[in-house]
């Protein structure tokens, strides 16, 4: 069946039929190390919205990133995926929610291969059977951004710091959008992030290259930084700057690394300057839902977020404590 | 580019590339070129041409494909797959094509620096753990926001993760690449598909486009 002939728009209620009371949160390596605020804020937001979050130290890395760099053959990643998902299925009987597009794309793609090629499923089960796991494939992999969309009303009710006047732009990320089958909204031109910005009181901004990828997948940041990644990102940011974007959100810590950490390098090469801070969507929601600002972890960013916070009225007093001095009309 | 002679062709190239049988519909390719039109890398470098690569794999132009520097430029954004009228999963094709190039001694320099992190992940169950200084920075950031200094990964998870890599032979596969490189047997890659469309000169960073 062709993706071109499939139904294009999927509503949150179709993707996640029932609001879950409890979810398994799949830890992301980059989201817990490079930008630890991401993981912390995702948990803060979900707890605030009445969802119980379970994590497990027995979960390992999804192993997909270096696989897609062709760093090693596919067998270990198939087995690692089967192991992680089997652990969640057997121990908790819950669906898996990830907060990194990488974890989402790799888990979903590898799960698809396991579920459609019995020979790989048997190979994986033979291997992980020695530790007592058995992968059935009964659970589903979701992204927390899909849950945000489903919980839009609860988000609206819980906003205590409206982000009035803030011009926010989205970056959905291709490992999410590339999963053609059954992702939320319209895979070509989704708008559910923009609906969330509106719920937070901010102004969504559309720019030409909003669908463009971050260029850091499959290790191009290591291998082709100058001749592929930087001109590619310059195209993206040029179009964002033309629309007056003040802050950009991602739903993938990996994209966040590319979009945030590359900006100073682009400046050095004569592109820009752009000075568009890039944060996780969970961090932006947490800001609006009243998370203590020092716990959001904006200090991990290379492109400072402070100018945006100041515009929203947040200042550090003489004792280093954050306070909001005004709210935009 | 010198003219190819018959020994550089391989009728079975497609089967060799698609070793995991993940792109069984490649021969349905219509050569419509929507993939190339939607490719952000092709927009920067016309010499990178997904349609041409699919064409060459199907025809079996072995050396031209494997020696190509362009095959290492794909960003895996899947814009090609999104618009493909016959649903060819080009990213998975690209991943497998790179395996074949590596096993023939091409493009190792694009993989071994990243595999440093793969080896490290076998010791800690996390990918992209930085060096000592970076780890200290992460611990500081994590403590600053009030969470435990290091993500909780159990010894059991690390052990099983490492064993999976050893028992599937992936660890030996990675080591073999390192050995080829250490012996200086890596073969050079070249830009293969020169010429073509015009690019936006503001973002043109390469001679030969």
Q: What are the residue ranges spanned by the domains of chain B? A: 6-107+187-203, 110-182
The verdict on A171 and A302 lying in the same domain is: yes
Which of A120, A144, A168 is where one domain is finished? A144
Is it the case that residue A184 has pLDDT exceeding 80?
A: no
Is omega for the bond preceding A273 within 30 degrees of 0, making it cis?
A: yes
The verdict on A168 and A301 lying in the same domain is: yes
- Domain B6-107+187-203, CATH among 3.90.550.10, 1.10.1060.10, 1.10.357.10, 1.20.1600.10: 1.10.1060.10
Smallest CA–CA distance, residue A202 to chain B, in Å, is 25
What's the domain range around A100?
A: 7-144
Cβ–Cβ gap A297/B117 under 8 Å: no
Helix, coil or strand: residue A204: strand
The verdict on A42 and A123 lying in the same domain is: yes
- Partners of A234 on chain B (C-beta within 8 Å) are 202-203
Nearest by CB: A60 against B21, B72, B157: B157
Asked whether the beta carbons of B161 and B121 are under 8 A apart, the reply is yes
The verdict on A177 and A297 lying in the same domain is: yes
The pair phi, psi for residue A107, each rounded to 5°, is -60, -40
The verdict on A25 and A88 lying in the same domain is: yes
Q: What integer is the mean pLDDT of A160-174?
A: 95
Q: Is A100 inside any structural domain?
A: yes
Rounded Cα distance between B76 and A176, Å, is: 12
Smallest CA–CA distance, residue A93 to chain B, in Å, is 19
Q: List the single best residue of B68, B72, B127 to mutate versus A (max A Cβ within 10 A).
A: B127
Per-residue confidence band for A197, with pLDDT thresholds at 50, 70 and 90:
very high
Q: What integer is the mean pLDDT of A195-206?
A: 96
Q: Which positions 16-45 of B are in contact with A (Cβ < 8 Å)?
A: 20-22, 40-41, 43-45
Per-residue confidence band for A1, with pLDDT thresholds at 50, 70 and 90:
very low
- ipTM score for this prediction: 0.92
For A114-132, give one letter per residue: b (16+ CB within 10 A) or e: beeeeebbebbbebbeeee
- For the segment A260-291, what is each residue's pLDDT rounded down to a tens digit? 999 999 999 999 899 999 999 999 999 999 99
Per-residue confidence band for A5, with pLDDT thresholds at 50, 70 and 90:
low
- For the segment A206-220, what is each residue's pLDDT rounded down to a tens digit? 999 998 999 998 899
The verdict on A220 and A131 lying in the same domain is: no
Rounded Cα distance between A215 and A173, Å, is: 10
Write down the pLDDT at residue A2. Answer: 46
- Total domains in the fold of chain A: 2
The verdict on A128 and A234 lying in the same domain is: no
Is it the case that residue A30 has pLDDT exceeding 70?
A: yes
Rounded Cα distance between B114 and A256, Å, is: 19
Q: Where are the alpha helices (DSSP H) in chain B?
A: 13-17, 34-37, 40-44, 50-59, 62-66, 79-83, 90-103, 112-124, 132-144, 155-167, 170-182
Cβ–Cβ gap B111/A71 under 8 Å: yes
Write down the pLDDT at residue A6. Answer: 60
Write down the pLDDT at residue A83. Answer: 97
Asked whether the beta carbons of B126 and A63 are under 8 A apart, the reply is no
**Chain A, nearest residue to B91 by Cα:** A68
CATH number at residue A48: 1.20.1050.140
Asked whether the beta carbons of A65 and A102 are under 8 A apart, the reply is yes
Nearest by CB: B151 against A33, A213, A222: A33
**Chain B, nearest residue to A58 by Cα:** B157
Write down the pLDDT at residue B45. Answer: 84
Nearest by CB: B205 against A1, A226, A294: A226
Nearest by CB: A72 against B118, B145, B203: B118
- Partners of B200 on chain A (C-beta within 8 Å) are 235
Strand order across the A278-280 sheet? A203-205, A167-170, A247-250, A278-280
**Percent helix / strand / coil, chain A, rounded to 5:** 50, 10, 40
Cβ–Cβ gap A217/B76 under 8 Å: yes
Establish how many alpha carbons lie within 13 A of residue A150's alpha carbon, considering only the half-sphere containing its beta carbon: 22
Which of A115, A144, A173 is where one domain is finished? A144
Rounded Cα distance between A227 and A289, Å, is: 41
**Chain B, nearest residue to A80 by Cα:** B161
Token pair recorded at residue B111: 């993989």
Cβ–Cβ gap B152/A55 under 8 Å: yes
The verdict on A233 and A183 lying in the same domain is: yes
The verdict on A171 and A133 lying in the same domain is: no
- Partners of B114 on chain A (C-beta within 8 Å) are 66, 69, 71, 219, 222-223
Write down the pLDDT at residue B206. Answer: 62
Largest CA-CA distance found in chain A, in angstroms, rounded: 64
Helix, coil or strand: residue B96: helix
Q: Is A150 inside any structural domain?
A: no
- Partners of A111 on chain B (C-beta within 8 Å) are none
Write down the pLDDT at residue B46. Answer: 81
Place of tokens 């989704």: A190
**Chain B, nearest residue to A63 by Cα:** B127
Pick from A200, A198, A176, A199: nearest CA to A188: A176
* Neighbouring residues of A234: CB distance < 8 A, sequence distance ≥ 6: A266, A271, A272, B202, B203
- For the segment A73-91, what is each residue's pLDDT rounded down to a tens digit? 999 999 999 999 999 999 9
- Partners of B78 on chain A (C-beta within 8 Å) are 174, 177-178
Is it the case that residue A147 has pLDDT exceeding 50?
A: yes
The verdict on A132 and A203 lying in the same domain is: no
Write down the pLDDT at residue A178. Answer: 79
Smallest CA–CA distance, residue B78 to chain A, in Å, is 6
**Chain B, nearest residue to A131 by Cα:** B160
Average pLDDT of each block of 10 consecutive residues along chain B (209 residues)?
64 92 94 94 88 92 88 92 91 95 95 94 93 94 94 96 96 96 93 66 61
The verdict on A254 and A140 lying in the same domain is: no
Which of A114, A144, A174 is where one domain is finished? A144
Cβ–Cβ gap A60/B204 under 8 Å: no
Token pair recorded at residue B122: 């076998």
Higher-scoring residue by pLDDT: B129, A179: B129
Q: List the single best residue of B125, B169, B207 to mutate versus A (max A Cβ within 10 A).
A: B125
CATH number at residue A169: 3.40.50.11810
Write down the pLDDT at residue A183. Answer: 73
The verdict on A127 and A164 lying in the same domain is: no
Cβ–Cβ gap B41/A228 under 8 Å: yes
Mean pLDDT of chain A: 92
């Amino acid at each position: 069946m062709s993706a071109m002939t499939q139904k294009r728009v999927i509503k949150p209620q179709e993707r996640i039929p029932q609001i879950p009371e409890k979810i398994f949160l799949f830890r992301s390596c980059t989201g817990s190390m490079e930008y630890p605020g991401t993981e912390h804020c995702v948990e803060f937001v979900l707890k605030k919205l009445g969802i119980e979050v379970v994590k497990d130290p027995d979960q390992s890395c999804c192993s997909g990133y270096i696989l897609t760099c062709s760093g090693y053959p596919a067998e270990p990643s198939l087995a690692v995926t089967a192991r992680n998902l089997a652990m969640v299925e057997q121990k908790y009987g819950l669906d898996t929610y990830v907060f990194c597009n990488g974890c989402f794309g790799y888990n979903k793609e590898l799960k698809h291969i396991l579920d459609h090629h019995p020979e790989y499923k048997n190979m994986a089960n033979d291997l992980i059977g020695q530790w007592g796991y058995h992968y059935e494939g009964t659970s589903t992999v979701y992204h927390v951004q899909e849950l945000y969309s489903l919980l839009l009303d609860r988000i609206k009710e819980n906003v205590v710091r409206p982000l009035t006047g803030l011009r926010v732009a989205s970056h959905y990320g291709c490992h999410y959008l590339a999963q053609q089958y059954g992702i939320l909204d319209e895979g070509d031109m989704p708008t559910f992030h923009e609906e969330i910005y509106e719920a937070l009181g901010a102004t969504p901004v559309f720019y030409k290259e909003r669908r463009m990828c971050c260029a850091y997948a499959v290790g191009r940041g290591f291998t082709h930084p100058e001749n592929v990644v930087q001109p590619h990102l310059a195209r993206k940011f040029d179009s964002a700057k033309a629309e007056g974007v003040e802050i950009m959100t991602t739903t993938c810590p990996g994209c966040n690394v590319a979009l945030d950490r590359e900006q100073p390098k682009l400046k050095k090469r004569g592109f820009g300057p752009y000075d568009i801070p890039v944060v996780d969507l969970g961090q932006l929601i947490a800001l609006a839902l009243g998370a203590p600002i020092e716990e959001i972890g904006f200090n991990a960013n290379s492109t400072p977020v402070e100018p945006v916070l100041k515009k929203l009225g947040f200042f550090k007093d003489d004792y280093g404590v954050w306070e909001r001095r005004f709210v935009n009309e | 580019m010198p003219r190819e002679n018959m020994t550089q062709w391989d009728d079975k190239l497609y089967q060799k590339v698609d070793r995991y049988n993940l792109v069984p519909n490649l021969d349905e390719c219509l050569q419509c070129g929507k993939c190339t039109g939607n490719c952000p890398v092709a927009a920067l470098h016309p010499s990178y041409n997904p349609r041409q690569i699919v064409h060459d794999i199907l025809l079996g132009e072995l050396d031209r494909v494997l020696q190509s520097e362009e095959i290492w430029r794909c960003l895996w954004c899947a814009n090609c797959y999104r618009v493909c009228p016959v649903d060819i999963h080009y990213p998975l094709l690209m991943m497998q094509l790179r395996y074949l190039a590596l096993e023939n001694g091409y493009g190792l320099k694009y993989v071994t620096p990243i595999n440093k992190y793969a080896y490290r992940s076998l010791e800690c169950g996390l990918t992209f753990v930085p060096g000592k200084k970076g780890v200290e920075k992460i611990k500081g950031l994590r403590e600053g926001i009030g969470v435990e200094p290091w993500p909780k990964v159990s010894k059991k998870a690390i052990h099983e993760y490492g064993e999976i890599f050893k028992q599937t032979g992936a660890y030996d596969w990675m080591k073999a690449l390192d050995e080829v490189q250490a012996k200086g047997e890596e073969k050079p890659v070249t830009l293969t598909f020169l010429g073509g469309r015009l690019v936006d000169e503001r973002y043109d960073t390469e001679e030969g486009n």
